[in-house]
Amino acid sequence: MATFVDRVTLHLKAGHGGNGCVSVRREKFKPLAGPDGGNGGDGGDIVLVADSQVTTLLGYHRGPHKASDNGGPGMGDHRAGASGETMELAVPVGTVVKDADGNELADLTVAGERIVVAPGGQGGLGNAALASTKRKAPGFALLGTPGWEGDIRLELKTMADVALVGFPSAGKSSLVAALSAARPKIADYPFTTLQPNLGVVQAGTFRYTIADVPGLIEGASEGKGLGLEFLRHVERCTALLHVLDCATLEPGRDPLSDLDVILGELAAYLVPDGQTPLLERPQLIALNKLDVPDAQELAEFVRPDLEARGYRVFEISTVSHAGLRELSFALAALVEAERLQADAAPARIVIRPKAVNDAEFTVRSEGGSDGNFFRILGPKPERWVAQTDFKNDEAIGYLADRLAKIGIEEKLFAAGATPGSTVVIGPGDGVVFDWEPTLTSAAELITGPRGSDLRIDQSNRPTRDARRERYFERMDAKAAARLEMEDERKAGLWREDAGTGDGGETIVGEARESDDGAPIDSDSRVSEGEKSEA
């Protein structure tokens, strides 16, 4: 017997894009006739498609790992690589698609509805596509980007027009089998039904679907029994049919108390925003098992109280099929009225335009054990980094030009970055750079944050105390020089010559040695007497 699976986690890996090709066309008498490298092919997408012929997620429960094809690499002579084939995964109508964090991505309520859950990678451009008037022969190509890889969660919410609710063993599965061609498991013990059962009912020319919700007991909305597991299947229904057991033998139970418990659990269950609360939807009551002795008497006793509450009551028997025709047509009338009302309501189109001030990237400062660094996040910078071949210097220069054009350097300056700062592009480890800004003219001096200029903040003018200290140092040096000259004069080291100095001495431009053999500076000074003796 097939297992009913309504929750599953898929592990998806979309195809990677193919790398671009670096190639140069060669012709006779033209060994370098221009670049002709082709583009790489795009990776295959993974798409979910709502299919009315699929009723369970069992196939994905047994094989949750799915991967699409990679794109082919580009080739010379302008030949592009082949794109990866798109993988389509059929899911039941009524499947809710969520990401790994539980955020809803899509609600597939119409057959044929599609959603791309894992986009394939983008193929890299060849050097022919990168050629321009300024770059006529690119010696590099762009790499293909990796496809999306991660987990998504699928949750099935049964698409039925009428939901049958009631206590275990109230006869819901028997009613589905009596009204439709479905053949669910039926037994005389509680919790026989462990999964919702769907059936198609034909009432005259009108057709609708019914489903029973198993395991509703007191506390079901809080997780008791099976109710919390399957109450979400009631969200899609147009009308509710309360199946009340008029032949129960459990003490303390009767149709009225059973109804109060079920209403309390339905009221406690919160439906998603935008949907009608369960108790505000059309509701009918079916008093079941009238073929059992004394059940008819109990049904006649509680019927006035139920009608006084505003309910329309039907007395039925799934064994003898008594009252089933009237109940079937009454349910068909409710469903038809709701469908007409839904068709008459104007279609609501939700348009989410991109904000005019939506930044292409963000720059933020983060701290770590090795000091602060700056992280750049955004689809464009992250994609450009993934497309760059860091073994090619020309490709690195092309990346720097692309980043500069979108204003990353200005944002780094505004965040407080300085030349040599560590910059990480992408989440997690990302790609790490030592940032060296691209600057021109006098801008190399403007490396501080906004509002500061090193040309203004820098001041080399000495203070008054510094000037006074330097003056005294010069005076001390001069005094020491005078004392040294006086000692040399007294020692007879000076001699007179043709020219005289400031003190009557003459500068002699020849080198001599002292008595101990040490050389004396050629700019020695001699007295007038020594000069005449010479």
Please check if 170 is assigned to a binding site: yes
Looking at this protein, which amino acid is placed at residue 73? Answer: P
Please check if 289 is assigned to a binding site: yes
Please check if 190 is assigned to a binding site: no
Please check if 318 is assigned to a binding site: yes
Sign of the Cα pseudo-torsion (259, 265, 266, 267, in order): positive
Please check if 59 is assigned to a binding site: no
The crossing angle, in degrees rounded to 10, of helices 379-386 and 393-405 is 170
Q: What is the CA radius of gyration of the chain?
A: 45
Please check if 431 is assigned to a binding site: no
| Count of helix runs (H) and strand runs (E) in the chain | 13, 22
Please check if 272 is assigned to a binding site: no
Whole-number Å distance between alpha carbons of 354 and 356: 6
Please check if 192 is assigned to a binding site: yes
Task: Write the DSSP string, 3-37.
Answer: PP--EEEEEEEPPPPPPP---B--BTTBS---B-P
Please check if 212 is assigned to a binding site: yes
Please check if 214 is assigned to a binding site: yes
Which residues, listed in sequence order, are joined to residue 434 by a DSSP beta bridge? Answer: 422
Among candidate residues 192, 196, 184, the one with its CA nearest the CA of residue 168: 192
Please check if 171 is assigned to a binding site: yes
Please check if 369 is assigned to a binding site: no
Q: Which residue has the tokens 């054009």?
A: 405
**Which two three-digit tokens encode residue 208?**
């609708």
Please check if 407 is assigned to a binding site: no
H helix runs in 491-525, sequence order:
none
Please check if 213 is assigned to a binding site: yes
Please check if 290 is assigned to a binding site: yes
Among candidate residues 343, 200, 342, 345, the one with its CA nearest the CA of residue 282: 342
Whole-number Å distance between alpha carbons of 324 and 416: 77
62 and 93 Cβ atoms separated by less than 8 Å = no
Please check if 393 is assigned to a binding site: no
Please check if 238 is assigned to a binding site: no
Whole-number Å distance between alpha carbons of 56 and 45: 23
What phi, psi does 323 have (nearest 5°)? 75, 0
Please check if 288 is assigned to a binding site: yes
Please check if 228 is assigned to a binding site: no
Q: Which residues contact 62 (CB under 8 A, 6 or more apart)?
A: none
Q: How far is CA 533 from CA 344, 491, 497, 498, 506, in A?
A: 134, 18, 10, 12, 14
Please check if 99 is assigned to a binding site: no
Please check if 350 is assigned to a binding site: no
Please check if 172 is assigned to a binding site: yes
**Which two three-digit tokens encode residue 468?**
């006074």
* Sequence ranges of the binding site: 166-173, 191-195, 212-215, 288-291, 317-319
| Residue ranges of the binding site for Mg(2+) | 173, 193
Which residues are part of a known binding site for GTP? 166-173, 191-195, 212-215, 288-291, 317-319
